[in-house]
Amino acid sequence: MRSDSGHPDRLDVEAVTEEHLASAPASASGPANTPTADTTFGAARPDQSPELLRLTGVTKRFPGVVALDSVDFDLRRGEVHAVCGENGAGKSTLMKIISGQYPPDDGSIVYKGNDCRFATSLEAQAAGIAIIHQELNLVPHLSVAENIFLAREPRRGIFVDRARLRADAQRCLDRLGVDIAPGTLVRTLSVAQRQMVEIAKALSLDAEVLIMDEPTSSLTETETSQLFKIIHELKRTGVGIIYISHRLDEMTEIVDRVTVMRDGRYVSTDVFRETTIDKVVARMVGRSLEDKFPPRTSGPIHEVLLSVDRLTRTNVFSPVSFELRRGEILGFAGLMGAGRTEVARAIFGADLPDSGTLRLGNETLAIRSPIDAIRHGIAYLSEDRKANGLSVNMPVASNITLAHMDAVSNRFGFIRFATEAAVAQRYIDKLGIRTPSVRQIARNLSGGNQQKVVISKWLFRDSRVLFFDEPTRGIDVGAKFAIYELLDKLAAQGIGVVMISSELPEILGMTDRVAVFHEGNLVTILDTRQTSQEEIMHYASGRRVAADASGASQ
């Protein structure tokens, strides 16, 4: 293995950077019990804190692909070091090497001053390295408490100490400010709630290195704010945090340094406050992005496409009424548990409502299952595309034609593979899906290209109403822009689009109107051009609703 001694950080020549200073030895003067971790790591500059982890010249090859090409990276105690790059840049592969899931093919890893190479993720975990995976790594049929302490359950003799298990899990959840009972089965939780359980699981390890891979991808602003408080607390105690997120704006609150990767290679490392998000984005994609959202090429027309009247699901959401116009992008905003996803699923027939009326154009609909919705041209793109939107182990072509297989089958029900391939290629070209062939397995595509495959599936079905639940979750900044352009094109074709999103800038940048939910109630519908993040949050948190009710009663 190669030594890292004398190896300088390779910095981008255009970057405004600060030299990484060698950590000075602790002073021998002063009381032995001071300074404390809080004062040491809370006050010190991160680039002057003791080095915790260093990777030098790390390379990882897979058949036909060099996933990492001589990558350097270092992490110091009490800092948040962000790793940025588009999907396919090598971020996840690098994290899997650090956490012991992959062995490096070349290069060295120094952890707490010692050369190391973890054989398994459990070995890395035992050494104090924990990871919060982007793809949630929970067991659905087990409880929240059992997932948090999986394979680490407290015991009384040979038996699991259930009372202590629940109490320990409750402390982890309380630390995050999450209102989830420890005994709740994970399969009953929303994606956002599962994300919080995954975070609680990592925090329970008391790790010295904590890797966060898209930890806020399905969290609302309130939950994200609570997570950031935890991150600041961890920094003060000397925990080194590697932070991966496509939400670059949120990094200003927590990140100390940022490393950019592109195409499996190291690009640059900067002190975060001495660079700009625009520079980071330019290095990520190899070009500048002047605007985050494309200009809308058209607007909604007056014709009502979908009418929802007093749709109700007992104990889930109260009567909901709204109209979706042809060519409109309607946003659904609200905090976790507000009812946005639940309303969409009820319209799609995934969950049956107790009452209410749906009309598509002039036709009253009786939707009792997703099959009924699909036949009427209503589609729902789940926030968890891998679990509910894709057959990840099937080829791209099969996924694109999955909702309309009769169109590519003969009269005996056998698939005409040449026809299927032609259809798939048409949508690959139309949506710009990056795949080596129509037979590529969907699991191997990037997040943005997987999302385009799901969209292709519903376009091939001639859907007239599309519900997009967190359409850019886990998608890099370049792919996000492509998805936004696609949504605009769909609306320009007269399709009605509902965008459910926890990212308010995304709601404001892409929608015509925004429906705001609070605790199962649709409290208002706002004209996007005449509202703001602050007004939406007032309604979403219930503050504006209470004020309106108070004013009305006077």
- Cβ distance 505 to 490 under 8 Å? no
Residue 46 pLDDT level (bands cut at 50, 70, 90) = low
The CA distances from residue 175 to 34, 197, 234, 361, 502, in Å, are 27, 12, 12, 49, 22
Q: Does residue 22 sit within a domain? A: no
Q: Which of 446, 86, 448 is nearest to 283 (CA)?
A: 86
Is residue 85 predicted with pLDDT exceeding 80?
yes
Q: Clarify whether residues 458 and 373 are in a common domain.
A: yes
Say how far apart CA 54 and CA 77 lie, in whole Å.
12
Residue 345 shares a structural domain with residue 270: no
**Cα(363)–Cα(360) distance, rounded to whole angstroms?**
5
Q: Are residues 55 and 200 in the same domain?
A: no
In this structure, the answer to whether residues 486 and 459 fall within a common structural domain is yes
Domain boundary among 160, 179, 205: 205
Same domain, 364 and 442: yes
Structural domain span for residue 449: 304-553
Q: Residue 336: is its pLDDT beyond 80?
A: no
Number of folded domains that form the chain: 3
User: Nearest 10 degrees: CA dihedral of 28, 31, 34, 35?
Assistant: -50
Tell whether 464 is covered by a domain: yes
Would you state the pLDDT for residue 266?
95
Task: Report the Cα 5 to chain-centroid distance in Å.
Answer: 37
Task: Give the whole-number percent of the chain exceeding pLDDT 90.
Answer: 49
What's the pLDDT at 364?
A: 95
Say if residue 222 is exposed, middle or buried (CB neighbours under 10 Å; 0-12, 13-18, 19+).
Answer: middle
Give the pLDDT confidence of 200-259 residue by residue, as tens digits.
Answer: 888 888 889 999 988 887 777 788 888 898 899 889 889 999 999 877 888 889 999 999
The total of other beta-carbon atoms located within 10 Å of residue 291's CB is 9
Whether residue 518 sits in one domain with residue 403 = yes
CB 77 within 8 A of CB 128: no
Q: What is the CATH number of the domain that holds 497?
A: 3.40.50.300
Collapsing DSSP to helix, strand or coil, 295 comes out as coil
pLDDT of residue 546: 46
Q: What are phi and psi of 272, to 5 degrees?
A: -60, -40
Cα–Cα distances (Å) from 365 to 78, 355, 362, 371, 494, in that order, read 57, 13, 10, 13, 20
Could you give the residue ranges of the DSSP H alpha helices within 432-496?
447-460, 477-492
